Amino acid sequence: MTDSLKNLKLVNKDAFQHDLIEWFSNEQRDLPWRKDKNPYKVWVSEIMLQQTRVDTVIPYFNRFIEQFPTINDLADAEEEKVLKAWEGLGYYSRVRNLQSAVKEVKEKYGGKVPDTKEEISTLKGVGPYTAGAILSIAYGVPEPAVDGNVMRVISRILSIWEDIAKPSTRKTFETAIYELISHENPSYFNQALMELGALICTPTSPSCLLCPVREHCHAFHEGVENELPVKTKAKKQRQVQLASVVIREDEKTVIHKRSSSGLLANLWEFPTVEVTSPFMFDKSYVEALLMEEIGIEVKLGQAVGKIEHVFSHLKWDIQVFEGELKAPIKEDENLKVVSPEEIVEYPFPVPHQKIMKQYYHEE
The 10s digit of each residue's pLDDT in 171-180 is 999 999 999 9
- Report whether 246 contacts 270 (CB < 8 A): yes
Band (pLDDT 50/70/90 cuts) for residue 191 is very high
What integer pLDDT is reported at residue 1 of this predicted model? 57
What integer pLDDT is reported at residue 361 of this predicted model? 66
What integer pLDDT is reported at residue 363 of this predicted model? 40
Length of the chain, please? Answer: 363
Band (pLDDT 50/70/90 cuts) for residue 309 is very high
Tell me the residue type at 5.
L
Q: Read off the pLDDT of each residue in 184-211 and give the average, rounded to a whole number.
A: 97
Average pLDDT, the chain: 94
Band (pLDDT 50/70/90 cuts) for residue 51 is confident
Residue among 67, 132, 70 at smallest CA distance from 103: 70
What integer pLDDT is reported at residue 278 of this predicted model? 67
Q: Read off the pLDDT of each residue in 206-224 and give the average, rounded to a whole number.
A: 97
- Report whether 120 contacts 134 (CB < 8 A): yes
> Per residue in 57-76, is it b (16+ CB within 10 Å) or e — as a string?
bbebbeebbeebeebeebbe
Q: State the SS3 of 175-210.
A: HHHHHHCCCCCHHHHHHHHHHHHHHCCCCCCCCHHH
Q: Which helix (H) or strand (E) holds 8?
A: none
Q: Which helix (H) or strand (E) holds 306?
A: strand 298-310
* Residue 144 phi, psi dihedral angles, 5° rounding: -60, 145
DSSP conformation class of 294: T
Where does residue 83 rank: exposed (0-12), middle (13-18), buried (19+ CB within 10 A)? buried
What integer pLDDT is reported at residue 313 of this predicted model? 85
d(C-alpha 306, C-alpha 318), whole Å? 6
Question: For residue 50, what are the contacts with CB-CB under 8 A and spacing of at least 6?
Answer: 91, 94, 130
- Report whether 189 contacts 158 (CB < 8 A): no
d(C-alpha 165, C-alpha 156), whole Å? 16
Q: Where in the chain is the domain with CATH 3.90.79.10?
A: 238-359
Q: Tell me the pLDDT tens digit for each residue of 53-90.
A: 999 999 999 999 999 999 999 999 999 999 999 999 98
Q: Which region holds residue 196: left if phi is over 0, alpha if psi is between -120 and 50, else beta?
A: alpha
Selected from 3.30.930.10, 3.90.1300.10, 3.20.20.390, 3.90.79.10, the CATH number assigned to the domain covering 238-359 reads: 3.90.79.10
Topology of domain 3-222, CATH: Endonuclease III; domain 1 (1.10.340)
| End-to-end Cα spacing for the chain | 64
Q: Read off the pLDDT of each residue in 323-337 and give the average, rounded to a whole number.
A: 93
Residue among 147, 139, 181, 154 at smallest CA distance from 37: 139
Q: Tell me the pLDDT tens digit for each residue of 84-129.
A: 999 999 889 999 999 999 999 999 999 999 999 999 999 999 999 9
195 tagged catalytic: no
Q: Which helix (H) or strand (E) holds 60?
A: helix 54-67
Q: Is the peptide bond before 229 cis (omega within 30 degrees of 0)?
A: yes
Residue 240, number of CB atoms within 10 A of its CB: 16
- Report whether 120 contacts 43 (CB < 8 A): no
Q: State the SS3 of 223-269.
A: CCCCCCCECCCCCCCEEEEEEEEEEEECCEEEEEECCCCCCCCCCEE
Which pairs from 6-13 meet CB under 8 Å and 24+ separation?
A: 7/158, 7/159, 7/218, 8/158, 8/176, 8/179, 8/180, 10/218, 11/157, 11/158, 11/180, 11/216, 12/216, 13/179, 13/180
Q: Which of 22, 46, 179, 308 is catalytic?
A: 46
Q: Read off the pLDDT of each residue in 153-164 and give the average, rounded to a whole number.
A: 97
What integer pLDDT is reported at residue 277 of this predicted model? 73
d(C-alpha 77, C-alpha 68), whole Å? 8
- Checking if the pLDDT of 332 tops 70, the result is yes
Q: Where in the chain is the domain with CATH 1.10.340.30?
A: 3-222
Where does residue 148 rank: exposed (0-12), middle (13-18), buried (19+ CB within 10 A)? middle
Q: Tell me the pLDDT tens digit for each residue of 245-304.
A: 999 888 899 999 999 988 999 999 999 999 987 667 899 999 999 999 999 999 999 999
